[in-house]
Structure 1
Amino acid sequence: MNSLSFSASAKSENFVGRDFVFTAINNFLYRYPKGYFTIVGVPGSGKSAILAQLVRQNPDIIYYNAQIPGKNRVEEFLTDICTQLISKFQSLLNSENLDFDNYDSSVFSLLFQQISESLSPESKLIIIIDGLDAINLEHQAIGTNLFYLPRYLPDQVYFIFARRPYKKSHSGLLIEAPSQVLDLSDFQRENREDVKLYIQRNLTPLPPFPAREWGKDSSPLLVGEGLGERFNENEDNFMYVQQVLKAFAEGFYDQPENINNIPPNLESYYQQHWAKMQGDGLSDFAVNVLRVLTAGEIQPMSALAISQVINGDVFDVMEVIEQWLEFLHEFREGKETKYQLYHHSFRLWLRGCLPDIVQVRE
């Protein structure tokens, strides 16, 4: 596990804002007797911290993180979740039926059915899964729900997910229950305000930040000593902000040779993205698409516009883009959909990887 993988409690440390997300979740839980709620966001947008804060506030929630190495297989999921259910709700279960040879999907369904039938009217069984996109599908039957999640839910049972952007026709879930998707990209203003709040709290421990004005020279790490060049009023990526603040605090940017570099932990994070984007190897066509997406101060572009730049087929461009959706922002302008790499820092870092590809392929 690398230094960017945290437990639920660690991920909620220094948590700020996200009121619009909690309001949406609470409204869903109040409105529907059961259901699936999904938080969608690009890497570093704060999905994991939101779920960790939910767990921190509600200790009876069942929590599972599929992003942890070794935890993305269905066998691990079922064993872990069933064990948690038995431990937390043992008083509600039929003790005569708890001796299982192994934990499979039928045991999973049996447990939350029994719990549902025994819950008090005001109680809820909430199961959180972080990193739904990390699931390894090679270890479950083709055409089944991710982690064999149930198509039907008994009353008072809710699932809350976090996952990166995905093609809606490839959600991996067939469900017959109330559902709602909250896409963090639809709340750009709220995201920026929460990031601003996070920066202020971490830069200015005294006095309470509401007494200060954004941009005032109230901290030794503000504009004039390097942060102003990295953060601006449109910053909305928590992972980037967190790692840059940490690097400043640890003196990383005190070294002249590091002034234009990103912190090592952030680079490791980007390398994970890059490895996933490459898969078993990139075609020349995919490299050309990536050149367009990383070029200069590139604005969001449609698949058609990209195809015209590289003189390629628009359907081939779309096929490449769909493979990279989790790393892209998607913008809709009328009937047109445009794409842009999810964060400027990642785009600049990725551009630096391209010459190595050219060298290898030549």
Structure 2
Amino acid sequence: MVNTINIPRYPPEFQQIITAKNYNFVGREFVFAAINNFLHQYDRGYFTIIGEPGIGKSAIIAHYVSQNPGIVYYNVEIADPPQPPLQRGEYEEFLTKICTQLIEIAQNQGSKNITAHLIDYTTENSGFLSLLLQQISDQLNPEQRLIITIDGCDRIDINNQQRGSNLFYLPRYLPEKVYFILTRRPFLPEKSGLLIETPSQSLDLSNYSEQNRADIQEYIKSYLSSQDINYKLQQINQHENNFMYVSEILTAINNNIYPEKLQIYYQSHLDKMNLTTSNQSTLALQVLKILVKDSLISVETIAERLDEDEYDIKVILDKWREFLRLKSREKEINYSLYHLHFCHWLMDKIEYG
């Protein structure tokens, strides 16, 4: 357990998410070990957990927060079902809720010049956030850490902020003993949205397929009564590593259709894909039809089949990066949809219009 400050009280909607995501949690020890190693190796910094949709990033953060009292928490995606990418002004809500938690910490430390009425200044820029971080840092004991978690950074539309700013106006520099732990879906390096001059490290869950599968199997066993285990395991591929899919299938294992929540989840993926390629919708649909039929395929092959320019194909695939798996084969990058069952759902969606 990390030595954090035994505060703050989370907003009710965040507490509900933490409780729900932490339910029946198992495994992920390799992630927590990596976080703790980072905290002990560096005196400040950004740690990012990267993973495809449904792999369990939110549950990891929720469990980590529940096991380490005092961690500041923010969840970008609190709507259910998920809504389109965040609109202008959402960063103001982030700054308000984060700074509210930080003000409580500063007051508990004995700061006299930080009062609740200052919350009005939190949304002007990141200056007040940086001030709070520095003041709290100055009062921390040598063994204490201030940890701020932000779950769902892929939902942030950086175009709604000032040009050149970080996601959510996160600080470029951090004071000692201050850490941010972020989660996000896969992204292009040049689209990270972060320009920072402080230690940073990322953990890509796709590099831990064996650990992910082992945790899935343990999750299934903990979810089911012993007499159901063998039957239920037969219904789920032993190589499955997507927690979202497994959790929803377990609740409707005897149905021959996707559970409603899973259909909503996949529909939100498709809506976002359509939104990001709205100016190339005809070509994007053609590319999607190829992706649902081919498990691994290159930009060059797609371009040849469609008789289109490779650049136009690459633009579409880059916009869909969070929903794709990339694999290098014979010095060529091949693309596939991130999850077989999402692929099947899309196939049915295309077939039936």
Q: Determine whether 1:264 maps to 2:260.
A: yes
Whether contact under 8 Å (1:286, 1:320) holds in the other structure is yes
CA distance in 2, matches of 1:38, 1:308: 37
CA distance in 2, matches of 1:285, 1:77: 36
Q: Which residue of 2 aligns with 1:91?
A: 108
Of the three residues 318, 325, 328, the one matched with 1:329 is 325
Which sits farther off after the overlay, 301-310 or 111-120?
Answer: 301-310
Describe the shift of the 1:176–1:93 C-alpha distance in structure 2 as closer, same or farther (beyond 3 A).
Answer: farther
Q: Matched residue of 1:283: which SS?
A: helix
Q: Matched residue of 2:252: which SS?
A: helix
CA distance in 1, matches of 2:199, 2:330: 29
Of the three residues 127, 150, 167, the one matched with 1:146 is 167
Q: Which residue of 2 aligns with 1:53?
A: 63
CA distance in 1, matches of 2:151, 2:208: 20
Whether contact under 8 Å (2:44, 2:176) holds in the other structure is yes
The amino acid across from 2:337 in the alignment is L
1:151-230 alignment runs, 5 A limit: 151-204=172-225, 206=226, 219-220=227-228, 222-223=230-231, 228-229=234-235
Of the three residues 21, 34, 43, the one matched with 1:24 is 34
CA distance in 1, matches of 2:191, 2:159: 16
Q: Which residue of 1 aligns with 2:135?
A: 114
CA distance in 2, matches of 1:193, 1:79: 39
Of the three residues 132, 152, 172, the one matched with 1:131 is 152
Whether contact under 8 Å (1:16, 1:194) holds in the other structure is yes
Q: Which residue of 2 aligns with 1:349?
A: 345
- TM normalised by structure 2 equals 0.87
Whether contact under 8 Å (2:73, 2:150) holds in the other structure is yes
Greater relative contact order, per chain length (Cα 8 Å cut-off, separation 6+)? 2
Q: Which residue of 1 aligns with 2:4?
A: none
Which sits farther off after the overlay, 317-326 or 134-143?
Answer: 134-143
Q: Matched residue of 1:169: which SS?
A: helix
Whether contact under 8 Å (1:93, 1:111) holds in the other structure is no
Report how far residue 182 of structure 1 moved. 0.6
Whether contact under 8 Å (2:106, 2:132) holds in the other structure is no
Report how far residue 64 of structure 1 moved. 0.1
Whether contact under 8 Å (2:51, 2:185) holds in the other structure is yes
Q: Which residue of 1 aligns with 2:252?
A: 247
Q: Which residue of 2 aligns with 1:68?
A: 78
- TM normalised by structure 1 equals 0.85
Report how far residue 138 of structure 1 moved. 4.8
- Ranges of 4+ aligned residues in structure 1 off by more than 4 Å: none
Report how far residue 356 of structure 1 moved. 5.3
CA distance in 2, matches of 1:112, 1:237: 36
Report how far residue 78 of structure 1 moved. 0.4
CA distance in 1, matches of 2:322, 2:180: 21
Report how far residue 11 of structure 1 moved. 0.2
CA distance in 1, matches of 2:32, 2:229: 31
Give a deviation string over 1:282-318, Cα, whole Å, max 9, x none: 52211111011101xx322221222223232221111
List gaps (5 residues or longer) in structure 1. Answer: 207-218, 358-362
CA distance in 2, matches of 1:64, 1:228: 38
Q: Matched residue of 2:228: which SS?
A: coil
The amino acid across from 1:82 in the alignment is C
What is the RMSD computed on CA atoms of the aligned residues?
A: 2.0
The amino acid across from 1:103 in the alignment is T
Give a deviation string over 1:303-356, Cα, whole Å, max 9, x none: 122222323222111111011111111222353222111111110111122245
Whether contact under 8 Å (1:92, 1:114) holds in the other structure is no
Which sits farther off after the overlay, 87-96 or 139-148?
Answer: 87-96
Q: Matched residue of 2:172: which SS?
A: coil
Q: Which residue of 2 aligns with 1:284?
A: 282
CA distance in 2, matches of 1:346, 1:193: 21
Q: Percent identity of the aligned residues?
A: 46
List gaps (5 residues or longer) in structure 2. Answer: 1-14
